[in-house]
Structure 1
Amino acid sequence: MVRVATYFAMTFGAFLFWQSLEKLHVWIALHQDEKLERLEKEREIKRLREELLAEAKERDSLA
């Protein structure tokens, strides 16, 4: 009986450990995706800002 209970406890513990690791991996993946999206937005904003500054310089040089 002790062996059965020990086996059950170890199996249940392994299941809980596996589930917690899975949740951790999902959390890490979501935060990496958010970080990549933020970096892409920052690059786009920087590119647009540079384009606008270049256009403004062209208008100033023409005027």
Structure 2
Amino acid sequence: MVRVATFFAMSFGAFLFWQSMEKIHVWMALHQDEKLERLEREMEIKRLREELLAQARQTD
């Protein structure tokens, strides 16, 4: 009986660990996607700013 209970407890613990790791990995992936989107927006803003500055210099 102790072996069965120990096996069940270890299996349940492994399942809980697996589920928590899955949630952590999903959170990390979403966080990384948000970071990449933010960096892409910042690069686009920098590019547009440089284009506008170049146009302003040409008109001056």
Q: Which letter maps to 2:50?
A: E
Count of aligned pairs: 60
User: 1:39-58 maps to which residues of 2 (within 5 A)?
Assistant: 39-58=39-58
Q: Distance in 1 between matches of 2:2 and 2:39?
A: 55
User: Alignment identity in percent?
Assistant: 82
Match of 1:27 in 2: 27
State how far apart, in whole Å, the 1-side matches of 2:53 and 2:29 are.
36
Matching residue's letter, 1:24: I
| Residues 25-60 of structure 1: per-residue CA shift (max 9 Å, x gap) | 001101110110010000000000000000111111
RMSD: 0.5
TM-score in terms of structure 1 length: 0.92
Larger-Rg structure: 1
Give deviations 1:11-34, integer Å, cap 9, x for gaps: 000000000000010011011101
| Unpaired segments ≥5 residues, structure 2 | none
TM-score of the superposed pair, with normalisation by structure 2? 0.97
